[in-house]
Amino acid sequence: MPARPPRYATFGLARLLPEAHAALTGGATDLLAWPTGLRAVVVLVVDGLGRHQLDDHADLAPLLAGAPGTTLDAPFPTTTASALTSLGTGRPPGEHGIVGFAMRAPDRDRMLVTLTWSWDRYEPVTDARADAVPESVQPLATVFDRLRPSGVRPVAVLRPEFIGSGLTRAAFRGADQIPASGLEDTLAAARDAATSGRKRLVYAHHGDVDFAGHAAGPGSDPWCTALAEVGATLERFVADLPRDVALVVTADHGMVATPSERLLDVRDHPDLVSGVTLFAGEPRARQLHTLHGAAVDVAAAWREVVRDEACVLTRDEAVDAGWFGPVVSPAARRSIGDVVVAATGDGFGVVHGDLDPFGGRLPGQHGSLTPAELEVPALLLTGSG
């Protein structure tokens, strides 16, 4: 069993945007030591930069690593689509319903890849927005929807290809969307939005660290280069940051190294797919939809093969354990796999070479509940300008 479920109620990532809104409007805060008199808050997600990875490479980004703040828990599964939707809605996956990278679409026996909002496969992309309408799949109001009546203008700075995407509509609707590419341009656009008037809450995203981690592994030379560039860019940004604008740097998940020899391919174990109708999730957090009545047998077969490398629970067990949050809606419950498999072994994962992106054999992955995947920083930076 993984050490613990995410600390949704106390130190969950979903609490960050509501906390930033409270800091702007004089409400109660308890996560960060906010300065008074703030005009704007910029929340930057450095995709894939977990707390453990940052601490282990503090010399590459000393300003960031030494910044005051706290450690938050990403939601389960610790994957971008679920975590960003929790950030954007202020709710755990059990409430907003984006319960995985690839999940059963609500009320359909078909897999929705939520990161690209496509059917069945990560590639080639088949646009699912017309049939799986993002506002229906994720029906809750976002934090941005809720804060407008308070006089705070919400802004999201995103890569051009993410403007109006299915995931953006699910997680960040209600925000004014501004396109920008690269961290320099992203932060410049965020600063312009933050200083263009009174009371702004700006969300921004940077994906290079996550990309390098998947492609070469966390701690690899490309990953270290990406982190060092983030650190240097943030130093320049903070040096010119107005006193009444705060920058919070966080992440959507951490990452672990997954050597190819530690990845089990189900094509070599046909017993693992017997009775499985949809093979969802990702290598470190599998969700298996099964034939009616087959969940217990499927779970037993998986436990026999993975042994102490992963925790295998039925859906009811995973829900009762609080993995998806204290409340799980009926729609979210239907999208969660009948069997949920969370990797506990160091670097272990279960891949399907015919279905997973790049055959699932990526040097860095995430999704499970280990501290390296679960714990993310929330660091508060302020300028002197």
Instruction: Assess whether pLDDT exceeds 70 at residue 374.
Output: yes
pLDDT of residue 285: 98
Confidence at residue 365, expressed as pLDDT on a 0 to 100 scale? 97
Give residue for tokens 């679960």.
374
Give Rg (Cα) of the chain: 20
| Mean pLDDT along residues 312-336 | 97
- Distance of CA 50 to CAs 16, 44, 161, Å? 16, 13, 25
CA 97, 369, 380: angle at the middle one, nearest 5? 85
* 336 touches 295 (CB < 8 A): no
State both tokens at 351: 């891949």
**Ranges 226-235, 274-283, 352-361: which has the least confidence:** 352-361
pLDDT tens digits, 287-316:
999 999 999 999 999 999 999 999 999 999
Record the pTM: 0.97
Residues 316-323: what's their mean pLDDT? 97
Architecture of domain 260-363: 2-Layer Sandwich (3.30)
Dihedral in degrees, nearest 10, Cα atoms 278, 343, 222, 156: 60
Q: Could you tell me the pLDDT band of residue 318, with boundaries at 50, 70 and 90? A: very high
Q: How far apart are CA 97 and CA 318, in angstroms?
A: 15
Instruction: Give CATH 3.30.1360.180 domain extents, the chain.
Output: 260-363
Chain-wide mean pLDDT for the chain? 95
Q: CA 162, CA 116: separation in Å to the nearest integer?
A: 9
Count other C-beta atoms under 10 Å from residue 63's C-beta: 15
Residues of the chain with CATH 3.40.720.10: 8-257+370-382
Asked if residue 77 has a cis previous peptide bond (ω within 30° of 0), the answer is yes
Strands 118-119 and 276-282: unpaired
CATH number of this structure's domain 8-257+370-382: 3.40.720.10
